[in-house]
Amino acid sequence: MKSKTSKITESDLSENGENSSEKEISGEDRIIETVKENLKVIRHTKGLSLDKLALKCGVSRAMLSQIEQGKSTPTISVLWKIANGLNVPFSDLIKEKDIEGVHILKHEHTKVLYSNSKVFSSRALFPYAGSRRTEFYELLLKPGGIEVADPHQTGTTENIVVVSGKLRLRVLERVIELEPKDSVFFRADVPHEYSNPTDQETLMYLVMNYSEELN
């Protein structure tokens, strides 16, 4: 019987979805394998050495090498820096093989990324396949937590709705207080910050849109 934890079987990575009781891999291992393969392909396609990419994205050559070798689990912040340096959507680093038709994302099979402090998490709610201009995420921010986001690619926008808890959003110098059912739309190509000023967890959903195809 399949565990109801974050573990998945190799069949979850196949296109035909056949059942398999073979080797199980954790959700974290799945992220590591997916990111390392995508990063290598994108970097080589763009003709970038590790040194050149390090200069473009602000992530050390050593860290990039560890990610490509599958020896390190990148945080949300690190992945965003790499995506910005490569000028590709965030989803290009976590996408898997193309999937046609209806695709169901079971909760235990989705990818969850964390901040360094573990107070902020992001769960992708879309198939990790093909190029896309819109992405959908579930965000969780622990009590008192703060997540500082670097500017995304030019023209990127975010649309957030708060489900439970409270969100204090800072966009440049403007501070916005949001409660359950409140939503906000803003340009995310400038410095912004999410914080939870309460003693309860904040749950929100984010739709991110890229204004043009990135390459």
37's CB contacts (< 8 A; 6+ apart) are none
pLDDT at 78: 92
Q: How many Å is the Cα radius of gyration of the chain?
A: 17
Together in a domain, 33 and 83: yes
Please say whether the beta carbons of 146 and 45 come within 8 A.
no
Average pLDDT over residues 202-212: 91
pLDDT at 26: 53
Indicate the range of 3-12, 94-103, 104-113, 155-164 predicted with least confidence: 3-12
> Alpha carbon of 112 to those of 53, 75, 137, 156, 178: distances in Å?
25, 10, 10, 22, 24
CATH number of the domain within which 87 lies: 1.10.260.40
Please say whether the beta carbons of 154 and 143 come within 8 A.
no
Please say whether the beta carbons of 163 and 212 come within 8 A.
no
Please say whether the beta carbons of 6 and 26 come within 8 A.
yes
Q: Which residue has the higher pLDDT, 72 or 131?
A: 72
Together in a domain, 150 and 199: yes
Answer yes or no: is 160 within a domain: yes
Domains identified in the chain, total number: 2
Per-residue confidence at 98, pLDDT binned at 50, 70, 90? low
pLDDT at 212: 61
Together in a domain, 62 and 137: no
Could you tell me the sign of the dihedral formed by the alpha carbons of 183, 187, 188, 190, in that order?
negative
Query: Is residue 107 over pLDDT 90?
Result: no
Together in a domain, 77 and 140: no
Domain termination residue (choose one: 93, 122, 150)? 93
Answer yes or no: is 104 within a domain: no
96's CB contacts (< 8 A; 6+ apart) are 13, 34, 127, 128, 129
Domain termination residue (choose one: 41, 73, 93)? 93
Together in a domain, 12 and 89: yes
Together in a domain, 28 and 84: yes
Answer yes or no: is 214 within a domain: no
Per-residue confidence at 99, pLDDT binned at 50, 70, 90? low
H/E segment holding residue 54: helix 50-57
Beta-bridged to residue 134, according to DSSP, are 209
Per-residue confidence at 32, pLDDT binned at 50, 70, 90? confident
pLDDT at 74: 87
pLDDT at 51: 93
Answer yes or no: is 103 within a domain: no
Domain termination residue (choose one: 43, 64, 93)? 93
Together in a domain, 82 and 138: no
d(CA 8, CA 31): 12
Give the domain extent around 45.
Answer: 8-93
Together in a domain, 76 and 140: no
Q: What is the pTM of this model?
A: 0.59
Q: pLDDT by residue (tens digit) across 135-161?
A: 899 999 999 999 999 899 899 999 999
d(CA 2, CA 71): 26
Together in a domain, 87 and 163: no
Together in a domain, 75 and 16: yes
CATH number of the domain within which 203 lies: 2.60.120.10
pLDDT at 89: 84
**Long-range CB contacts (within 8 A, 24+) of 93-96:** 93/35, 93/38, 93/39, 93/42, 94/31, 94/34, 94/35, 94/38, 94/124, 94/128, 95/34, 95/38, 95/127, 95/128, 95/129, 95/130, 96/13, 96/34, 96/127, 96/128, 96/129
